[in-house]
Amino acid sequence: MSRLGILVSAIFYLLTLLFFYYLIYPRISINPGVFYLITFLFVVLFGAYSSGLYLMVSGRALNRVNLSPLYRYYIFPVTSFYSGLIKKNKLSAWEEFVKMNNSIVERSSSKISPDELLVLLPHCLQSTKCDIRITTDIRNCKECGICEIGGLKNLLDKYGVKGFVVTGGTLARRIAKEKLPKGIVAVACHHDLSEGISLVYPIPVYGVLNDRPEGPCLNTIVDLKKIREGIEVFLK
């Protein structure tokens, strides 16, 4: 989602809170104690939401573990709900979210060493004509040239970073949890990438969307230049 989209979602959320406040106001105005409590609750809800958006856009929220529940269970779900209402084209909305996330990561990420960076790649980048198992261990690739895995393997070796080929979001999150990187460069389709960025928060993720000339999850391709740019965002 773009900054404009975030601003619009914040306005819609404020209007929603005011609407519910308007509905219950006649019932609470007769009791001063309840009136002040409900008013305080609504102010806190919007204050926490708007503050969270500001910290997210400014990049100050990244790597703050104490803020993880706030974003995972409140900021991201509410923002996603309103962005879905505002923009019916889901692919476009997810792509905007990834772009905005990357710009935040570029501005806010502190530099890390290669062993602290993790590159996660989808298994659909491997050609269906290949019978070599590279899932989780990209080093098994024989670099035959029929897909981009060989080029990705060389790119990871050049920068000395760890890379894993995963079969889905569940495995990607498990690897991220086990390896505990300080930064991630992830390649995936629109939905999986935007969802993964939210789920592994507060670990900063630089997202790279793959292209799907043959449809979802089949012989997808990715621009190696974009992955190189993502790696260089993090490295010292």
DSSP at 46: H
124: CATH: 3.40.50
Q: What are the pLDDT digits (tens) for 89-100? A: 777 777 878 888
Give the number of other CB atoms < 10 A from CB of residue 166: 23
What mean pLDDT comes out for the span 138-162?
A: 90
DSSP at 183: E
- The boundaries of the domain holding residue 71 are 3-88
pLDDT band at 217 (very low <50, low <70, confident <90, very high): confident
In a domain, 95, yes or no: no
Please tell me the chain's helix, strand, coil percentages from 3-state DSSP, rounded to the nearest 5. Answer: 60, 10, 25
- What per-residue confidence (pLDDT) applies to 87? 67
In 3D space, the residue among 29, 213, 3 whose CA is nearest the CA of residue 97 turns out to be 3
Number of structural domains, the chain? 2
In a domain, 93, yes or no: no
| Statement to judge: residues 43 and 141 lie in one domain | no
In a domain, 96, yes or no: no
Domain boundary among 25, 59, 88: 88
Q: Do 162 and 115 meet the contact criterion of CB atoms below 8 Å apart?
A: yes
Question: Higher-confidence residue: 65 or 30?
Answer: 30
Question: Higher-confidence residue: 151 or 92?
Answer: 151
Cα gap 115→108, rounded to integer Å: 20
Strands 162-166 and 183-188: unpaired
pLDDT band at 231 (very low <50, low <70, confident <90, very high): very high
In 3D space, the residue among 167, 163, 218 whose CA is nearest the CA of residue 186 turns out to be 163
| Statement to judge: residues 114 and 159 lie in one domain | yes
Tokens at residue 55, please?
A: 């910290």
**What is the average pLDDT value for the chain, to the nearest integer?**
85
pLDDT band at 59 (very low <50, low <70, confident <90, very high): confident
DSSP at 61: T
Long-range interactions of 82-89: CB distance < 8 A, separation 24+:
82/8, 82/9, 82/12, 82/13, 83/1, 83/5, 83/9, 85/12, 86/5, 86/8, 86/9, 86/12, 87/1, 87/5
Q: What are the pLDDT digits (tens) for 17-36? A: 999 998 888 877 778 888 88
| Statement to judge: residues 177 and 227 lie in one domain | yes
| Statement to judge: residues 117 and 209 lie in one domain | yes
| Statement to judge: residues 222 and 120 lie in one domain | yes
Q: What are the pLDDT digits (tens) for 153-206? A: 999 999 999 999 988 888 888 888 888 899 999 999 988 898 888 888 888 899
**pLDDT exceeds 90 at position 8:** no
Crossing angle of helices 90-108/224-234, nearest 10°? Answer: 40
- What per-residue confidence (pLDDT) applies to 65? 61
Cα gap 95→52, rounded to integer Å: 21
In a domain, 99, yes or no: no
| Statement to judge: residues 136 and 43 lie in one domain | no
pLDDT band at 60 (very low <50, low <70, confident <90, very high): confident
Beta bridge partners of 184: 118, 205
**What's the distance, Cα to Cα, between the start and end of the chain in Å?**
29
Burial (CB count <10 Å: 0-12, 13-18, 19+), residue 195 = middle
In 3D space, the residue among 139, 131, 130 whose CA is nearest the CA of residue 164 turns out to be 139
Domain boundary among 56, 88, 120: 88
